[in-house]
Chains A and B, each alone.
Chain A
Amino acid sequence: MSDAILSALGALFEGARFMFTHGGPNLIMIAVACVMFWLAIAKGVEPLLLLPIGFGCLLVNLPLSEVMQADGVLKTLYDIGIGNELFPLLIFVGIGSMTDFSPLLANPRLLLFGAAGQLGIFITLLLALALGFSKEAAVSIAAIGACDGPTVIYVSNMFAGMNRIPTAMVGALAVAAYSYMALVPVIQPPIMRLLTTRKEREVKMPSPKGKVSKAALIAFPIVVTVITGIVAPKGLPLMGMIMLGNFMKVTGVVPRLASAAENEIANISTLFLGLAIGGTMAGQQFLTRETLMVFGLGLVAITIDTAGGILLGKLWYLLSGGKVNPLVGAAGISAYPMAARLVQSEGQRWNKNNYLLMHAMAANTGGQIGSVMAAAIMLSLLKGLGII
């Protein structure tokens, strides 16, 4: 009898014993989860993502947790929505229905800022290869430069599914991508001030006149989908889902579907995606030198993205005789609408009568299209080179 009671008590304290003997990495990751909670709750940093990711991270790092073992709740979520790239694509439908492309259609030349804002992806790819990462891991890390969480998860998980990168790396990449997206207001302003003169920052740009016609807004998502399908078919699911969401919104004939995409579908997918990604953050696999390098390279990627956009803006400023404010180039990334609002506030800081918001929104939506297009082109190139 006493043996049975001791065995039962031993079973109850098995978790605690594990924590004391092998639980160092788990304790560190539980602390990381608490930092994510603090950032989300106290600082309002990407709470929609960091809260479920943090909770998934907590669940998987508790001693003897089975949530990521076969039939575990987080493993099931991972298999039904991350392993087959479904959740990032459903989130893209929601993003598409939340995006307004009319500033871009009113001022299409600003779409080119969306290309310059992807420079960080390709420079980071070179750096990651130089640091010894495999081709697939380097492409996944470079995708952080897209400033677009679902794109990073889509690309990296494709490689994880082929066993080309460790599954734990998907979690590190996702957390790095979402963290840096949230830190755009901290990362970008110093770069803006460093690369531009006061005279350049004070340039006023007149607002485009007139309203974009509804027919043009309806035709735009169809045309972009077709072009992506022809140029970079491997990335068609990414662009197609964004454009589907936008198409439902601008046609105005399926308000229930557009509303569901923007609310229920995006919310449920975000919750499940966050939990499943948090589930990949088990301490024993997550705490590696590579994870630290992923975070470092992610910062480099976003810094170069910002610099790329501003440098194109400076070139445009020179070629246009001072009519383009180079700050607008900083909005050519995918962090929508945060990057555009940041350009507006930075422009007004130097010239109170300066209203750059519509131009920055055009560049910012250009950045969204540019980031997905860059990822689509990378995937198609990898297929063309016989790597995937």
Chain B
Amino acid sequence: MSNTVFGLTMLVVGMGGTLATLFLITIVIRALRALFPVRPDDKEEKK
């Protein structure tokens, strides 16, 4: 494999893969937040 093909493959699949994986993690975090809802701040609780 030539260096150019290798570099472009790493750019497209590497950057794309990183972006896609982190996007997947944001979806998982949203699911976690739905499952375990955010609690009100202590100050708000006192009110």
Contact = CB atoms under 8 A, between A and B. Distances in A.
Given A104-B29, A216-B32, A231 B21 contact: yes
A1 to B, nearest CB: 66
Q: At the interface, is chain A mostly helix, strand, loop or mixed?
A: helix
A115 B39 contact: no
B21 to A, nearest CB: 5
A111 interface: yes
8 contacts: A122-B14, A125-B10, A129-B3, A129-B6, A215-B36, A227-B25, A370-B22, A385-B9
B26 A111 contact: yes
A50 B30 CA distance: 40
Contacts of A219: 32, 35-36
A381 interface: yes
Nearest to A212: B38
A129 B33 contact: no
Q: At the interface, is chain B mostly helix, strand, loop or mixed?
A: helix
A232 B25 CA distance: 14
B15 A385 contact: no
A309 interface: no
A112 B15 CA distance: 12
B36 A216 contact: yes
A109 interface: yes
A378 B9 CA distance: 10
**Highest count of chain B CB atoms <10 Å: which of A216, A231, A381:** A216
A211 B10 contact: no
A237 to B, nearest CB: 17
Interface string B4-33: 101111110111011101111110111011
B39 A210 contact: yes
Nearest to B15: A122
A116 to B, nearest CB: 8
B40 A211 contact: yes
Contacts of A119: 15
Contacts of A116: 19
Contacts of B28: 223, 227
A135 B3 contact: yes
A231 B29 contact: no
A216 B35 contact: yes
Given A219-B32, A369-B25, 20 more contacts: A108-B25, A108-B30, A111-B26, A112-B26, A119-B15, A211-B38, A211-B41, A213-B39, A216-B35, A223-B25, A223-B32, A224-B25, A227-B21, A227-B24, A227-B25, A228-B21, A232-B21, A381-B9, A381-B10, A381-B14
A369 B24 CA distance: 13
A198 B36 CA distance: 39
A37 B21 CA distance: 40
A278 interface: no
Contacts of B29: 104-105, 108, 111, 216, 220
Interface in A123-173: 123, 125-126, 129-130, 135, 138-139
B42 to A, nearest CB: 8
Contacts of B4: 129
Given A111-B29, A115-B19, A381 B13 contact: yes
A125 B7 contact: yes
Contacts of A373: 18, 21-22
